Amino acid sequence: MAKQLHLGAFMRPVSIHTGAWRYPGALPDANFSLAAIQRFIRSLEAAKFDYFFMADHLGVLNLPRQALMRSHTVTSFEPFTLLSALAGVTERIGLVATASTTYDEPFHVARRFASLDHISGGRTGWNVVTTSNPDSSRNFGLETQPDHAARYHRAREFHDVVTGLWDSFADDAFVMDAAKGIYFDPDRMHALNHKGEHFSVSGPLNISRPVQGWPVIFQAGASDPGRQLAAETAEAVFAAESTLEGSKAYYDDVKGRAATVGRNPDHIKIMPAVFLVVGDTVEEARAKRAKLDSLVHYDSGIHSLSGMLGHDVSGFDPDGPLPDIPESNASKSSRRFMIELARAENLTIRQLAAKAGSYGGLAFVGTAKTIADEMQHWLEQAACDGFTTMFPYLPEGLEDFTGKVVPELQARGLFRTEYEGATLRDHLGLPRPDNRFFA
């Protein structure tokens, strides 16, 4: 059988587009309506998606009032609380959440994900991130944040501690022998006793080993430290490349690095983020995108751009070119993408702000057939293993994709018609990891 696509859905925020909540027929409160989100995840599960993914932010962005007042992401649910609720109304779809290695502790993260994996029957994934937003640091008693390299160094140790805690108990530790009065075998329990540069964690974790052994490890990151961390630890990667050639190079680089450190490259799934606008004709889809982009106010766009660049550009001439921008602690991938876009297309700051406030990354805008053509081409060119889909507005944008594009992919044999397994590892074709402490 030909290689099949994996499909995930980026659902926090429910749309990354700043104008999404203003689109005719959209649900303005979709980010914080449990009923709406339950509707969305049921539609995704009916379409046999691999996973539902929640990004997270640890603070309200410190934007000027005129920009902040236009944001539909200023309020949303905490990921673990929401995903625990969603686990109860779904059966197969994966549940992936972001948890920061910069402002959290390994024991907390290990315990939350282990709990969610048990609650969901083995459907969880951890998106490992380093927090680059300086506004978040002040919510944790810090005036400054660690620099880029230091954040990734901490993240590597954080990952090792969390996965070590997940291995605290052997799979057969809990014998529950009522006749003998023995609940578990203490010889099948391991105390981590980790003492490192950033963390000192005794362990063991006070919950049995997750159903999947470990929840699936997700990551994103285009910088060299980000790629190396992904190659060493990730099992699925949210890539941000916006061109076929760029994604092919990223795919080869990360999988090549994984092979170099002794990992099976097939055990890392590269899942580029793609913004999807579906129409019955290409012209209709383009008109939808144009309407959506027209709903982005400059006040919002310029501050989205400043955040992505890690530098305030609101004081420059809106109709002039983007000047040279100094390095910062902002996300390297977002900064690089916007600068390259400005140079390649000779965009003014106003035009670049419109891109930043809408969505300037990879987008497939067309009919079910043309979008399926593009997805198939990327898969066949070894530019991806699937896609992390982003919808332009909810619920229509999501339902356009699940109702029109997914059946086209299924008809081509490129996407499943039924789930074949019960866990997220089953969906992604990933092995269950061995326990490092118990054979």
Known binding-site positions for FMN: 56, 98, 148, 152, 223
Which residues, at least 6 apart from 9, have a Cβ–Cβ distance to it below 8 Å?
40, 44, 49, 51, 52, 53, 388, 389, 390, 391, 398
Strand-pair partners of 386: 6
Place of tokens 């920061």: 100
In contact, 394 and 21? CB cutoff 8 Å? no
Phi, psi of 102 (to 5 degrees): -90, -40
Q: Residue ranges for the binding site?
A: 56, 98, 148, 152, 223
d(CA 397, CA 26): 9
Query: How, if at all, do strands 386-390 and 273-278 pair?
Result: parallel
The helix-helix angle for 349-357 and 298-309 (nearest 10°) equals 90
Place of tokens 């876009």: 341
d(CA 229, CA 225): 6
In contact, 391 and 15? CB cutoff 8 Å? yes
Which residues, at least 6 apart from 91, have a Cβ–Cβ distance to it below 8 Å?
45, 121
- Other Cβ atoms within 10 Å of 144 Cβ, number: 9
Length of the chain: 439
d(CA 126, CA 434): 18
Place of tokens 């997700």: 218
d(CA 71, CA 74): 6
Rg of the chain's alpha carbons, rounded to an integer?
A: 22
